[in-house]
Amino acid sequence: MTNTLLMPKATAVWLVDNTALSFDQIAQFCSLHPLEVKAIADGEAAQGIKGMDPVMTGQLTREEIKRGEQDTNYKIKLSEPKVRVPETKRRGARYTPLSKRQDRPNAILWLVRNHPELKDAAISRLVGTTKSTIEQIRERRHWNAANLQPMDPVTLGLCSQIDLDIEVQRASANRPAGAPVGDTLLPASLTERLPAEDETAKVRKEDEELDANAVFAKLSALKSNKSDEDEEE
């Protein structure tokens, strides 16, 4: 199970107010954009959100914070949880963060073009969209269709490569097998009825021998008749 940070924006608020970590370090730890962290520091974002101390929740140690403050290139790491909570299965469409929702139409267009075997339900699970939006993009009826550019949803961070591979494999497994192309073998029921080449040649040879024997027999009969006539004379 992947260890994830709880309440990343509230954690970012606390780190901005209580540490000397850089915006990039906080953004990396909280999975936010550095500009979003800067907006939190400037008071332009996360207004009304109460900061959450990651040290109190056991997700970060004081030593890790101090190490990051001493080296701005150091990436602070999430502490291993003391208790493992079973991962709950997600139901329904995937939730997409507000900052990434504008990329969903481009991701849908990429999936439609590169994986036509995927059904609307699978695309909805991957990028968290509605069936009507998918249909509009398929049929080029989307309000922004002229400006859409196909973009890989994995690169955009809308889904993981594992989730995409699972959906593609599932869709491929349900796809009917294609019709055979080119020459194919005859069914066994037909080939069993066809005489083998050796047997065919054998039958042909026997027929030829029978014909030859018949000719010889006829010639012998003619000679015998002629001999009898000569004796009578």
Domain tally, the chain:
2
- Is 132 among the domain residues? yes
Pair 107, 158 in one domain:
yes
Pair 44, 105 in one domain:
no
Pair 104, 162 in one domain:
yes
Residue 20 belongs to what domain range?
8-70
- Is 104 among the domain residues? yes
- Is 210 among the domain residues? no
Looking at 25, 55, 70, the residue that finishes a domain is 70
Whole-number Å distance between alpha carbons of 233 and 224 = 15
- Is 227 among the domain residues? no
- Is 148 among the domain residues? yes
pLDDT of residue 4: 76
Helices assigned H by DSSP within 83-196: 104-114, 120-127, 131-138, 153-156, 161-174, 188-191
pLDDT of residue 97: 54
Q: Indicate whether this model's pTM tops 0.85.
A: no
Per-residue pLDDT of the chain (233 residues; tens, 9 = 90+): 456 788 888 999 999 999 999 999 999 999 889 999 999 988 888 777 888 899 988 889 999 999 999 998 999 998 876 655 555 455 545 554 544 557 889 999 999 999 988 999 999 898 888 888 999 999 988 888 888 899 888 888 888 888 888 988 888 876 665 555 555 555 555 555 545 555 555 556 666 665 666 656 666 666 665 555 555 55
Pair 22, 59 in one domain:
yes
pLDDT of residue 88: 47
Contacts of 157 (CB under 8 A, 6+ apart): 100
pLDDT of residue 156: 83
Q: Can you say whether residue 18 is alpha, beta or left, with left for phi > 0 and alpha for psi between -120 and 50 degrees?
A: alpha
- Is 229 among the domain residues? no
Pair 66, 106 in one domain:
no
